[in-house]
């Protein structure tokens, strides 16, 4: 996927360059939000600023990053938050400028101080990772929270992990659950998987296999490979659902195809209980499930 394609796809959901494995929940956080370049879509801009910003956007979408920077830099100097955030992204990834985490963090901070959620999230990530600024978990948690309170889905997810791992905040499974619930309701697959894991284990919430199954299923239907494996586990032993070797194999098969090799152990164990015809049927079901966009899976 090209950088430009990643920006475009980010409108529908933040692109992460890190895998997310939630059972047990790991420290994999969502990173720099390409949506910074699309901050303008939520605001109605008028006058010369809108024209200059749009010219920069069109240039960036065509791969002419130098022109994009030329259009956005004077707007950033004038204090326009969207231009500051977008220019920060260019510095973070060295697009049309020499790469500089320090410049990126400074620009994100200026936009974040004006309340721009994408900039608040990107600044939090840099503080979380110590890039361009001194590593500061407490400050990262603060900026994640400010963005999360504005509904920024990746900030909600990352803030939940901060509470999970007691990074910059006191450990709180209840807070992890609440922030991941908010992200999950926005369709964030990793957050949905996290809720599934919490209901599955009874961590931060009363154990409920039916709820675990429901959240795993939502994440699985968004292509979350680990959740697909967890669904296989639940069908294999009949937790929250009627036990089914065929459906367990199907979900393990899909999970492996989507890049979760840990599902191979479950597939191998369940296949020992199945006839060749049953395995063939499960594989056909898996192919149909994926081909229909997870609409015809059971």
pLDDT tens for the chain, 298 residues long, are: 333 333 322 322 333 332 333 333 445 676 765 444 544 433 445 566 777 888 998 999 999 999 999 999 999 999 999 999 999 999 999 999 999 999 999 999 999 999 999 999 999 999 999 999 999 999 999 999 999 999 999 999 999 999 999 999 999 999 999 999 999 999 999 999 999 999 999 999 999 999 999 999 999 999 999 999 999 999 999 999 999 999 999 999 999 999 999 999 999 999 999 999 999 999 999 999 999 999 999 8
CB neighbour list of residue 134: distance below 8 Å, 6 or more residues apart: none
Answer whether 109's CB lies under 8 Å from 126's CB. Answer: no
Residue 8, CA distances (Å) to 61, 184, 278 in order = 8, 22, 42
CB neighbour list of residue 77: distance below 8 Å, 6 or more residues apart: none
Write down how long the chain is.
Answer: 298
pTM: 0.85
The C-alpha angle 99, 157, 191, rounded to 5 degrees, equals: 125
* C-alpha to C-alpha distance for 79 and 61, rounded to whole angstroms: 23
Answer whether 89's CB lies under 8 Å from 36's CB. Answer: yes
* C-alpha to C-alpha distance for 207 and 12, rounded to whole angstroms: 32
């Amino acid at each position: 996927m090209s950088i430009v394609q990643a920006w475009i796809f980010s409108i529908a959901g933040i692109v992460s360059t890190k895998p997310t494995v939630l059972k047990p929940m790991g420290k994999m956080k969502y990173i720099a939000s390409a949506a910074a370049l699309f901050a303008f879509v939520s605001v109605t801009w008028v006058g010369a600023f809108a024209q200059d910003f749009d010219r920069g956007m069109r240039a960036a979408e065509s791969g002419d990053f130098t022109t994009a920077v030329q259009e956005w830099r004077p707007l950033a100097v004038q204090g326009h938050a969207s231009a500051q955030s977008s220019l920060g992204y260019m510095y973070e990834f060295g697009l049309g400028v020499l790469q500089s985490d320090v410049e990126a963090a400074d620009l994100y901070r200026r936009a974040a101080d004006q309340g721009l959620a994408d900039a608040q999230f990107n600044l939090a990530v840099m503080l979380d990772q110590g890039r361009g600024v001194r590593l500061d978990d407490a400050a990262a948690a603060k900026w994640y929270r400010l963005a999360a309170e504005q509904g920024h889905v990746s900030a909600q997810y990352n803030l939940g992990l901060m509470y999970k791992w007691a990074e910059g905040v006191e450990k709180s499974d209840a807070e992890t659950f609440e922030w991941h619930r908010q992200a999950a309701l926005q369709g964030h697959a990793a957050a949905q998987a996290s809720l599934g894991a919490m209901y599955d284990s009874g961590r931060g919430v009363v154990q409920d296999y039916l709820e675990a199954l429901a959240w795993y299923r939502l994440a699985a239907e968004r292509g979350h490979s680990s959740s697909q494996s967890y669904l296989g586990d639940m069908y294999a032993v009949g937790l929250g659902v009627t036990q089914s070797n065929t459906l367990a194999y199907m979900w393990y098969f899909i999970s492996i195809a989507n890049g979760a090799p840990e599902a191979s152990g479950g597939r191998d164990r369940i296949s020992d209980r199945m006839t060749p015809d049953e395995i063939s049927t499960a594989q056909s079901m898996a192919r149909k499930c994926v081909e229909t966009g997870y609409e015809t899976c059971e």
